[in-house]
């Protein structure tokens, strides 16, 4: 069981879903992954639903902000990267050509965060942990297993994230298309990058683990989801890409998980 109690700076540590139907999304993902929801009040009539496996936090689901809806932003899974200082990292990201869409702000007493759009257009979150360090469980069925960037400029993205987080971004050998593997400064495998396909925007894709990708994909489609990429063999395992009933896109991975 891949349990965590902290994350080194530069590591993907959390994911949450901003959706138009919080109750519907909770029902869909609870049925898909066996998640239990713990609702935490975060404002008048608002809750932040911590999704758990065996009492351990794996992700969260919240209602999309009205401003996002008004802007036409679709429901989406967000990728968080742990940093020592959200303020310093946001300032550095700006100098490297990114847009800080939401300047650093405190999330009650659990952490400090910022929303950043990288120079190629992909959104991600900076997370400076306080009471909440991130996911307690990763790299197993129902938990966060990988983060992958599709980018319109693979070299440009690799350079940006190297400078921002100190990542090593190196080509994976034997792939049919260029694929870069991300390793943190601490030496941990931390995700990947690939070139976006024609008409595909830059974005971070969240992968969740599964023990049976065919069964999980079938359950997702049977519960109102759509298989955008049916289960396919990638050599080290199998992947699939699914859109949930509200429109958020996520991926599945079945194979050998890192500890």
Q: Which pLDDT does position 175 carry in this prediction? A: 65
Residue at token pair 């929801």: 37
Please state, in angstroms and as integers, the Cα–Cα distance from residue 74 to each residue in 3, 68, 162, 244, following that order: 31, 8, 29, 11
Cβ(76)–Cβ(248) below 8 Å:
yes
Count Cβ atoms below 10 Å from residue 119 Cβ, excluding itself: 17
Residue at token pair 């870069």: 180
Q: Where are the domains of the chain?
A: 12-129, 144-255
For the domain bounded by 144-255, which CATH number is listed?
3.10.180.10
3 state DSSP class of 105: strand
pTM higher than 0.75, yes or no? yes
CATH fold of 12-129 = 2,3-Dihydroxybiphenyl 1,2-Dioxygenase; domain 1 (3.10.180)
Residues 6+ apart with CB under 8 A from 11: 81, 82, 184, 186, 188, 190
Six token digits for residue 98: 């990114």
Give CA–CA dist 65/46, Å, rounded.
Answer: 10
Equal CATH topology for 12-129 and 144-255: yes
Residues 6+ apart with CB under 8 A from 48: 16, 39, 40, 42, 60, 62
Look at residues 180, 143, 190, 153 and name the one whose alpha carbon lies nearest to residue 10: 190
Please state, in angstroms and as integers, the Cα–Cα distance from residue 221 to each residue in 43, 56, 150, 218, following that order: 33, 26, 24, 5
Q: Which pLDDT does position 259 carry in this prediction? A: 67
In order along its 259 residues, the chain shows pLDDT tens digits of 589 999 999 999 999 999 999 999 999 999 999 999 999 998 788 899 999 999 999 999 999 887 777 777 899 999 999 999 999 999 999 999 999 999 999 999 999 999 999 999 999 999 999 999 999 999 999 999 999 999 999 999 999 999 999 999 998 876 667 899 999 988 888 899 999 999 999 999 999 999 999 999 999 999 999 999 999 998 888 999 999 999 999 999 999 887 6
Give CA–CA dist 120/149, Å, rounded.
Answer: 10
Q: Which pLDDT does position 176 carry in this prediction? A: 67
DSSP code at position 38: E
């Amino acid at each position: 069981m891949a349990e965590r109690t902290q994350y080194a700076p530069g590591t993907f540590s959390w994911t949450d879903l901003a959706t138009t139907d919080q109750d519907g999304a909770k029902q869909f993902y609870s049925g898909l992954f066996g998640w239990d929801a713990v609702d935490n009040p975060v404002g008048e009539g608002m809750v932040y639903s911590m999704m758990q496996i065996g009492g351990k936090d794996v992700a969260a689901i919240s209602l999309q902000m009205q401003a996002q809806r008004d802007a036409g932003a679709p429901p989406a899974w967000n990728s968080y990267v742990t940093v020592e200082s959200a303020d310093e990292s946001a300032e550095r990201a700006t100098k490297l050509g990114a847009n800080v869409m939401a300047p650093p702000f405190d999330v009650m007493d659990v952490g400090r965060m910022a929303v950043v759009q990288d120079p190629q257009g992909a959104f991600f979150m900076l997370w400076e942990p306080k009471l909440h360090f991130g996911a307690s469980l990763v790299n197993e069925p129902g938990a966060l297993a990988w983060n992958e960037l599709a980018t319109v400029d693979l070299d440009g993205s690799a350079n940006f994230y190297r400078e921002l987080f100190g990542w090593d971004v190196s080509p994976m050998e034997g792939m049919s298309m260029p694929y870069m593997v991300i390793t943190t400064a601490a030496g941990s495998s931390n995700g990947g990058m690939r070139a976006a396909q024609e008409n595909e925007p830059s974005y971070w894709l969240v992968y969740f683990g599964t023990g049976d990708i065919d069964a999980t994909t079938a359950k997702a489609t049977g519960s109102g989801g759509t298989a955008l990429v049916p289960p396919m063999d990638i050599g080290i395992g199998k992947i699939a890409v699914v859109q949930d009933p509200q429109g958020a896109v996520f991926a599945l991975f079945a194979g050998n998980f890192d500890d």
